[in-house]
Amino acid sequence: MADASQQETSSTALQIAVLAGLASMGTLATNILLPSLPQMAAALKVTTPAVTASITVFLLVFALGQLLVGPISDRYGRRMPVLAGFAVFIIGSIWCGVSTDLPSLLVGRAIQAAGACSTSVLSRAIARDLFSGAALARALTLVMIAQAAAPGFSPLLGGGLDYFFGWRSEFIFVGAFAVLSALSYILVLGETHNTTRIPLNPLAVSATYLKLSVNRHFLIPAGTVGLIMGGLFSIFSAAPRVLIEGYGFTPIALGLFFAGTVLVVFGSGMLAARLAPRFGLDRAIRYGLLIAFIGSIAVLATAYFHGNVVTFIAATCVFLLGMGVVNPLGTAQALSPFGTHAGAASALLGFWQMMGAAIGVSLSATIVPQAALALGIVLGAACLIAIVLYAMRQQTTAVS
């Protein structure tokens, strides 16, 4: 019995590790480039703000592509879209690596995003295929930790690759990572969608998305997660400006900051795993939202009163602590009731997450000239709206 239990635990850990690889493809491919944007701009003979369009293009294609991948996987299973996604991502990585001008790079980034969106959205759908209830929440928490580790460590990794081998080596690295992840998926997971297949009808797909969008059991937790993810990506985009231009960080120091955020997200993931069984998803998510809101107000206060770098980093970590609780638990809450349509639900959730990210990145760059103040405003607004939105779930639950 003990041996069987150990084998089951080992198998579950291996499955979650593979899911983490699938989920982290998109954030790895984006954040690994952050330290190299100036070098890329110089090589392609454009400005640094111009080359940041490679991030915007990636996020937009990533968001839209998920809406197609989810229904396809509900009809034909997970295996074919996942493997196709890996192949497309590898082609896009090669394209980016040999690009000699900005338009060519943007095309390659769009191809990369089209592949990465498939692996990312289906990591959640596969988790829903394999687990349920508290086990699903724990699995998504661990996947989220790995997904957050990718943007945390990848700038440091990207800076090292750029320093020793040049920025093009970063695309070689993410392509090789995709090859290894694809082999792991084939060997460990394979097809997991063994329930009823949903016909692939454009009208039916649109109707499914519409039903999900007006279903409060999906709409409220998914919208809450989308808002919080918008705040997270705002930190990714604004932190280089705040820390390098405002506080004099070097690119390596910036990479260390991002790497340090992994510890915060890891801690918050462990906290989420403990809070959910003890207090239930609703109360745990409310606690996470409150923590994130406190952190956002602290970031805003630090910017407004010209606080020091320690205050800024501490405030950011408080937000990340709350985000790390809300993200996995809100994702589990949004997906749990929709097993038959897990692919479509995961796709729509992913779309909202990436659109939230794109909006957050755009606002934090344009709302006011001061990067730290803009970040504080975006984080505070996102958390406040998320708190109000999630309060509607309590009202709905009370009525029903």
The domain in which residue 246 lies consists of 2-192+201-399
Supply the mean pLDDT for the chain.
82
Contact present, 22 and 122 (Cβ < 8 Å): yes
**3-state SS assignment for residue 47:** coil
277-299 pLDDT, tens digit per residue, is 788 888 899 999 999 999 999 99
Supply the Cα-derived Rg of the chain in whole angstroms: 20
Residue 301: predicted pLDDT = 95
Asked if 59 and 193 count as a contact pair (C-beta separation under 8 A), the reply is: no
Distance CA 40, CA 383 (A): 34
Ramachandran category for residue 370: left, alpha or beta (phi over 0 → left; psi -120 to 50 → alpha): beta
Q: Residue 355: its pLDDT value, please? A: 83
pLDDT of residue 238: 80
User: Where are the alpha helices (H) located in 77-167, listed in sequence order?
Assistant: 79-97, 102-130, 133-165
Q: Do 366 and 238 contact (CB within 8 A), yes or no?
A: no
Lowest mean pLDDT among 103-117, 155-169, 238-252: 238-252
Q: Residues 127-134: what's their mean pLDDT?
A: 75
Residue type for 380, please?
A: G
In whole angstroms, what separates CA 310 from the centre of its chain? 26
> What is the value of pTM for the model shown?
0.75
* Alpha-carbon 313 to chain mean position: 21
Of the pLDDT bands very low, low, confident and very high (cuts 50, 70, 90), residue 398 is: very low
Distance CA 87, CA 101 (A): 23
For residue 136, the domain's CATH number is 1.20.1250.20
Provide CB contacts within 8 A for 298, sequence distance 6+: 311, 314, 315, 318, 319
CB 283 within 8 A of CB 170: no
The per-residue pLDDT for 5 is 54
pLDDT tens for each residue of 9-34: 667 778 888 888 888 888 888 888 87
Local confidence band at 340 (pLDDT 50, 70, 90 cut-offs): low
Number of domains in the chain: 1
Burial classification of residue 295, based on how many CB atoms lie within 10 Å of its CB (0-12 exposed, 13-18 middle, 19 or more buried): buried
Where does the pLDDT of residue 373 fall: very low under 50, low under 70, confident under 90, or very high at 90 and above? Answer: very high
